[in-house]
Amino acid sequence: MSDYDVVIIGSGLGGLECAYILSKEGYKVLVLEKNRQLGGSLQTFVREKAIFDTGIHYIGGLDEGQNLYKCFKYFNIYDKLKLIKMDEDGFDRISFGDNGREYKHAQGYDNFVEQLSQEFPHQRQALKNYIEHIQEVCNYFPLYQLKEDNNPVFVTKYLDINARDFIASMVSDPRLQSVLAGSNPIYAGEGDKTPIYVHAHVANTYIESAYKCIDGGGQIERYLSKNIRANGGEIRNYAEVSKIVETEGLVTHVQLNTGEIIHGKNFISNIHPALTMEKLESTKIKNAFRHRMAGLENSSSAFIIDIVLKPDTFKYINYNIYHYNQNDVWTGVNNTPEMGPAGFALFVPKSSFGGEYARSMTLLIYMKFDEVKKWADTYATMPHHDHSRGPEYEEFKIRKAEQVIDMACAKIPNLRNCIQSYTTSSPLSYRDYIGTKDGGLYGISKDYRDPVRTFIAPVTKIPNLYFTGQNLSMHGVLGVTVGAVRTCGLFLGQNYLIRKINDF
3-state SS of 152-204 is CHHHCCCCCCEHHHHHHHHCCCHHHHHHHCCCHHHCCCCCCCCEHHHHHHHHH
List % helix, strand, coil for the chain (3-state, nearest 5). 40, 20, 40
- Give yes or no for a contact between 44 and 54, defined as CB atoms under 8 angstroms apart: yes
Query: Which pLDDT does position 191 carry in this prediction?
Result: 86
0.85 surpassed by pTM: yes
What pLDDT is attached to residue 381? 62
Alpha-carbon span 457 to 444, nearest angstrom:
13
Read off the pLDDT of residues 335-361 as tens digits, 9 standing for 90 and up.
777 777 889 999 999 998 878 999 999
Single-letter amino acid, residue 275: L
User: Residues with Cβ < 8 Å from 65, sequence gap 6 or more?
Assistant: none
Domain residue ranges in the chain: 4-46+53-82+215-296+443-503, 107-207, 300-441
CA distance 494 to 501: 11
Residue among 171, 203, 174 at smallest CA distance from 187: 203
Q: What is the distance between the alpha carbons of residues 38 and 235, in angstroms, rounded to a whole number?
A: 9
Give the CATH number of domain 4-46+53-82+215-296+443-503.
3.50.50.60
pLDDT of residue 499: 96
The predicted-structure confidence for 405-427, as pLDDT tens digits, reads as follows 999 999 999 999 999 999 999 99
For residue 350, give the nearest of 217, 461, 504 by alpha carbon.
217
CB atoms within 10 A of CB 439: 27
Please indicate whether residue 388 or residue 445 has the higher confidence score (pLDDT): 445
Residue 345 φ then ψ, to 5°: -110, 140
Tell me: the pLDDT tens digits for 375-400?
A: 988 887 655 555 568 889 999 999 99
Max distance between CA atoms of the chain, in angstroms, equals: 69
Q: What is the mean pLDDT of residues 455-474?
A: 89
Instruction: Tell me how far apart the alpha carbons of residues 209 and 205 are, in angstroms, rounded to a whole number.
Output: 7
